[in-house]
Amino acid sequence: MSLALVHSRARAGVHAPPVRVEVHLSGGLPSTQIVGLPEAAVRESRDRVRAALLCAQFEYPARRITINLAPADLPKDGGRFDLPIALGILAASGQIDRNALAGHEFIGELALTGELRAVDGALPAAIAAAQAQRTLVVAEGNAAEAGLARHAQVKVARTLLEVCAGVSGAKALPEASVPMATPSPQPDLADVRGQQQARRALEIAAAGSHHLLMLGSPGCGKTLLASRLPGILPDASEAEALETAAVASLSGRGFDPAHWRQRPFRAPHHTASAVALVGGGSHPRPGEISLAHNGVLFLDELPEWNRQALEVLREPLESGTVTVSRAARSLEFPARFQLVAAMNPCPCGWVGDASGRCRCPLEAIRRYRARISGPLLDRIDLHLQVPRLPPAELRGDAPPGEDSATVRARVMQARHRQLARAGKANAHLGQSETLRDCTLQAADHDLLEQAMERLQLSARSMHRILRVARTIADLAGAPAIDRSHLTEAIGYRQLDRGSAAGDRR
């Protein structure tokens, strides 16, 4: 029978759905036809596969070859099917044993010389192959990435000939090893001089995974503070790190498996489009908010961003996922990121500064701040004013503040309390969990209601105040929220539309 079946994996978001490559040889004029929704790169596989087989001293059958990529309604893209197509042709023509392919899955692009090239999405494919209890064969360039799937059996080959020798038993293929995690050094919080309130807000944000907006004049240290946040965050769990690595594997932007345990820090330029943030394209790929999954997304110069780009953040900030819809399909990417944003208080940046150099009209200040919509501000837990420091505090001989290791130890203790209580960070508590874990005394309830009336806060803001107060209590080791925790949390919610006049004064 001139029919062979080979297992492979497609790419669909962070998932790797199974694809069965069916190769049939029949009589008729020599031709090669690929069916099953192949896109341009897949249709071109027939030319790459033919040259690779001939260079490897195999025979390319002079028959009618039909290649079906099943299921037929799943779009196929990229060069990842070159290797399974080549093996299917060899098995169907009797040049290798078709039974030897059972229990294996194959992904890899073929060079014309028969050399195997790496493809995107090897890690999701390895995880899916382990669940299907099959051995995955990948190119040498994908070995470190696929090796992150600890429960998967992954074999590595450099050429098509090595794959054929490996599946036939003539020569054993080496197994992919788990790469050693070597996190790159993070900037130290000790570099930040002064700014005690900003350092406190950064610690609260790290402990509870809260979103943070810093507002201050140019050069006051907003970017410096944001860059120190990853150094005080708790380590990612193995499950979180694998999720983040799977997203990076799909991005096609160069994934370094040596840093797979490190939380990502993404800082796109303010000219980035909405598609660059959420992902998309004809072959949907993850955007910046998904690449920041389980890490930090830093948006500098927030009012300078395109309004449409900022508004797409609203739903992912709540749900932790983003859905990219196209006419043919809809893909979902994880996007549980921690937002840190920075902005100037006015167009010139100096309103409220002690120098009094700002000459911006009050209406210009209001228009500038109105570029950030109320619903987006509502979703940011901590609003922080960062003042310009006097020169005396910036001297090199000024005493440094606490270093990242000291602050991180407190952050980890607070996070352990949260995980023991609810199994998640405080910022991720649902409504019922917030009401359960963030209880207040009767007098404190009255204080919160008065603050909501005075600041015109929404119910969403109220819940975020309670979660921040719970994080402050966790940092203090307190079993319950008291008034000092609540008043500090309310103090981080005062960036409203009426503050421009107060800054002018």
By C-alpha distance, which of 176, 280, 188 is closest to 232? 188
Q: Topology of domain 189-504, per CATH?
A: Rossmann fold (3.40.50)
Positive or negative, the Cα torsion across 58, 63, 69, 71? negative
By C-alpha distance, which of 373, 342, 130, 115 is closest to 225? 342
By C-alpha distance, which of 81, 93, 91, 90 is closest to 20? 81
Domain boundaries, the chain: 3-168, 189-504
Token pair listed for 306:
């395109």
Burial class (CB in 10 A: 0-12, 13-18, 19+), 452: middle
- Residue 354's pLDDT is what? 79
Q: Which helix (H) or strand (E) holds 34?
A: strand 31-35
Q: What is the DSSP letter of 396?
A: T
User: For residue 67, what are the contacts with CB-CB under 8 A and spacing of at least 6?
Assistant: 21, 22, 23, 24, 32, 33, 34, 35, 36, 46, 85, 88, 89
For the chain, list residues with pLDDT below 50.
497-498, 501
- Residue 497's pLDDT is what? 45
Q: Which helix (H) or strand (E) holds 7?
A: strand 3-9
Specify whether domain 3-168 bears CATH 3.30.230.10: yes
Dihedrals phi, psi of 70, to nearest 5 degrees: -100, 145
Strand 285-286 vs strand 279-280: parallel, antiparallel, or unpaired? Answer: antiparallel
| Number of alpha carbons in the 13 Å side-chain half-sphere of residue 435 | 4
Q: Is 352 helix (H, G, I), strand (E, B) or coil?
A: coil
Find out whether the peptide bond into 347 is cis, omega within 30 degrees of 0. Answer: no
- With contact defined as beta carbons under 8 Å apart, do 201 and 207 qualify? no
Question: How many other C-beta atoms can be found within 10 angstroms of the C-beta atom of residue 192?
Answer: 21
User: For residue 197, what are the contacts with CB-CB under 8 A and spacing of at least 6?
Assistant: 384
- With contact defined as beta carbons under 8 Å apart, do 429 and 468 qualify? no
- Residue 68's pLDDT is what? 97
By C-alpha distance, which of 205, 155, 203 is closest to 337? 205
User: For residue 252, what are the contacts with CB-CB under 8 A and spacing of at least 6?
Assistant: 120, 285
Q: Is 149 helix (H, G, I), strand (E, B) or coil?
A: coil
Residues in the chain: 505
Whole-angstrom CA distances from 474 to 63, 204, 294, 421, 482 are 72, 10, 21, 11, 11
What's this model's pTM, rounded to 2 decimal places?
0.90
- With contact defined as beta carbons under 8 Å apart, do 126 and 152 qualify? yes
Separation between Cα atoms, residue 118 and residue 409, nearest integer Å: 40
- 3-state secondary structure string, 61-74? CCCEEEEEEECCCC
User: For residue 72, what are the contacts with CB-CB under 8 A and spacing of at least 6?
Assistant: 35, 36, 37
Query: Which residue, chain included where needed, has tokens 């501000």?
Result: 377
By C-alpha distance, which of 205, 199, 214, 132 is closest to 383? 214
Q: Is 135 helix (H, G, I), strand (E, B) or coil?
A: strand
Separation between Cα atoms, residue 468 and residue 204, nearest integer Å: 8
